[in-house]
Amino acid sequence: GAVVSQHPSRVICKSGTSVKIECRSLDFQATTMFWYRQFPKKSLMLMATSNEGSKATYEQGVEKDKFLINHASLTLSTLTVTSAHPEDSSFYICSAGLGSGSNQPQHFGDGTRLSIL
């Protein structure tokens, strides 16, 4: 079946470091991928929509200069948390639809647990 791979699964780094998270669709092409953030025991909050070959669409309140998104190919989107601070610590998870049609369910990566010291 369709699989979305997310890497790394866990990152611990010092404040001020930039961290890159990759999201890959392994056996299908995804023109659109989504990045979510999740706090413990809370729901997934959409951060941005990643569009292949064009700029990402950010949700209100999400700093685009803080959370850089690149979707350079049909199988890879990256989220870079720039100059990370402890308040950026969270669980980040990506998803991709199986096809361009909206009737396809989204498949999720396994998430990245980011801890900023």
Partner 1 sequence: AQTVTQSQPEMSVQEAETVTLSCTYDTSESNYYLFWYKQPPSRQMILVIRQEAYKQQNATENRFSVNFQKAAKSFSLKISDSQLGDTAMYFCAFMKANQAGTALIFGKGTTLSVSS
Give 2 or 68: the residue with its C-beta nearer to partner 1: 2
Give 73 or 100: the residue with its C-beta nearer to partner 1: 100
Report the nearest approach of partner 1 to the CB of residue 2 (Å). 11
- Please state, in angstroms and rounded to a whole number, the distance separating the CA atoms of residues 18 and 114: 11
DSSP one-letter string for 32-50: EEEEEEE-TTS-EEEEEEE
Give 31 or 80: the residue with its C-beta nearer to partner 1: 31
Report the nearest approach of partner 1 to the CB of residue 68 (Å). 19
Q: In the complex, which residues of this chain contact partner 1 (CB under 8 A)?
A: 31-32, 34, 38, 41-44, 46, 49, 51, 91, 93, 95, 97, 100-103, 105-108, 110-111, 113
CB-facing half-sphere around the CA of 46: CA atoms within 13 A: 12
Give 81 or 97: the residue with its C-beta nearer to partner 1: 97
Pairing of strands 112-116, 10-13: parallel
Pairing of strands 90-97, 112-116: antiparallel
- Please state, in angstroms and rounded to a whole number, the distance separating the CA atoms of residues 49 and 110: 18
